[in-house]
A and B are shown apart, each in its own frame.
Chain A
Amino acid sequence: DVKVTQSSRYLVKRTGEKVFLECVQDMDHENMFWYRQDPGLGLRLIYFSYDVKMKEKGDIPEGYSVSREKKERFSLILESASTNQTSMYLCASSFGMHGSNDEQFFGPGTRLTVL
């Protein structure tokens, strides 16, 4: 079974703090994604990585950065957390071009609260 794990289920941080959210997948997937999920807004893509050290901006990259130093690990960084970044953050991975479909496998999510 594909497993996508996220470092924390719940996180509480203060405004201005630097926040790291970690995601690890164990299926040698090429693609990894970070989304945020807010009620009524669905899943919005923050950043996407299709290879080690490669990244693409998603729909809402402002206030976020990412790092992918190893294929299995994709980190989301909030350089200076703000209250409007309080949300559920979901990591996902997929096989990419060499897969048979575009299925994304999601982690359980990290609920981040910024006070």
Chain B
Amino acid sequence: QQQVKQSPQSLIVQKGGIPIINCAYENTAFDYFPWYQQFPGKGPALLIAIRPDVSEKKEGRFTISFNKSAKQFSLHIMDSQPGDSATYFCAASMWGSSQGGSEKLVFGKGTKLTVNP
């Protein structure tokens, strides 16, 4: 119930393409869904996050789509660039409902994205 399943494991697109990464969860108590981006040699960094009261959130070329009934969320990268090549992790937590001491993120296994020039 605590798992977040992420797919695909790897993805290769051409510059300008729209890669889509999908995640699914089981625990309906999750109320915070972030995406992290990790470049080689660096730690992950928060890219964009969504709460279940909205179905979509955009920040620049990055969009999260959220389907509460299906318990799925996805990351879309519009007009992808070679600089977007990185590993992307989805995650979930029960931040809003936590009692303190339990603000843990459950991470997906990651998607390695390669954007060819």
Question: In A1-52, which residues have CB < 8 Å from any B CB?
Answer: 4, 31, 33, 40-45, 48, 50-51
Task: Pick from A42, A51, A101: contact of B101, CB below 8 A.
Answer: A51
Q: Kindly list the 7 A-B residue pairs having the minimum CB-CB distance in the complex, ordered from nearest.
A: A106-B43, A42-B109, A102-B95, A50-B101, A43-B107, A42-B110, A103-B46
Q: With an 8 A cutoff between CB atoms, is B105 at the interface? A: yes
Q: Using a Cβ–Cβ cut-off of 8 Å, how many residues does chain B contribute to the interface with A?
A: 25
Q: Are A41 and B109 in contact (CB under 8 A)?
A: yes
Query: Quick check: is B93 within 8 A (CB to CB) of the other chain?
Result: yes
Query: Most chain-B CB neighbours within 10 Å: which of A31, A43, A58, A109?
Result: A43
Query: Please, could you name 9 A-B residue pairs with CB atoms under 8 Å apart, sorted by A?
Result: A43-B89, A44-B107, A45-B104, A102-B93, A102-B95, A102-B103, A102-B105, A104-B46, A107-B43
Q: From residue 10 to 60 of chain B, which have CB atoms closer than 8 A to chain A?
A: 32, 34, 41-46, 49
Q: Please, how many angstroms separate the alpha-carbon atoms of A54 and B44 in the complex?
A: 25
Cβ distance A94 to chain B, nearest Cβ, rounded Å: 6
Q: Using Cβ atoms and an 8 Å threshold, which residues of chain B touch A97? A: 98, 100, 103
Q: Which residues of A are at the interface with B, using a C-beta cutoff of 8 A?
A: 4, 31, 33, 40-45, 48, 50-51, 54, 56, 58, 90, 92, 94, 96-97, 101-109
Secondary structure type dominating chain A contacts: strand
